[in-house]
Amino acid sequence: MGIIKHDEIVRDQIRAEGVTNTTGAKIIGPAQGWPDHTLRVFRVGPRGHTPHHQHDWEHVNYIISGKGRLTIGDVTHEVTQGDFAYVPPNTSHQFENPYAEDFEFICIVPNRGA
């Protein structure tokens, strides 16, 4: 499976402490032949957010659509379609969407973080 169409992604509601109005899907990873990393897609709806958390792996992000906020450490950044972000390991972070439209982004992590 080499091609995944964006409009065919099956997203699951994320049900975890600190998560509101967020869906996600694992798109490319070990099952598709990428043994070391997983590419995930998250959609944060209006007034939604991921948990404020940290862990020992990095994130590489690309904003697909919409706009939102990404807090890395003590700094909150406005991010919008076409932006890239890197979240270092062991750094607290959170994605949030205070806006009226969906905010969607790619998140690539090593498989210990998938």
The domain defined by 11-113 folds into Jelly Rolls (2.60.120)
Q: Where are the domains of the chain?
A: 11-113
Asked if residue 57 lies in contact with residue 108, where contact means CB atoms within 8 angstroms, the answer is no
Degrees to nearest 5, angle at CA 63 with 76 and 104: 100
Q: For the chain, what's the residue count?
A: 114
Question: Which band of pLDDT confidence, cut at 50, 70 and 90, is reported for residue 109?
Answer: very high
**Encoded tokens for 4:** 């995944």
Phi, psi of 95 (to 5 degrees): -100, 140
pLDDT in tens, 44-99: 999 999 999 999 999 999 999 999 999 999 999 999 999 999 999 999 999 999 99
Minimal CA–CA distance to 108: which of 46, 44, 64? Answer: 64
pLDDT in tens, 10-36: 999 999 999 999 999 999 999 889 999
Asked if residue 107 lies in contact with residue 86, where contact means CB atoms within 8 angstroms, the answer is no
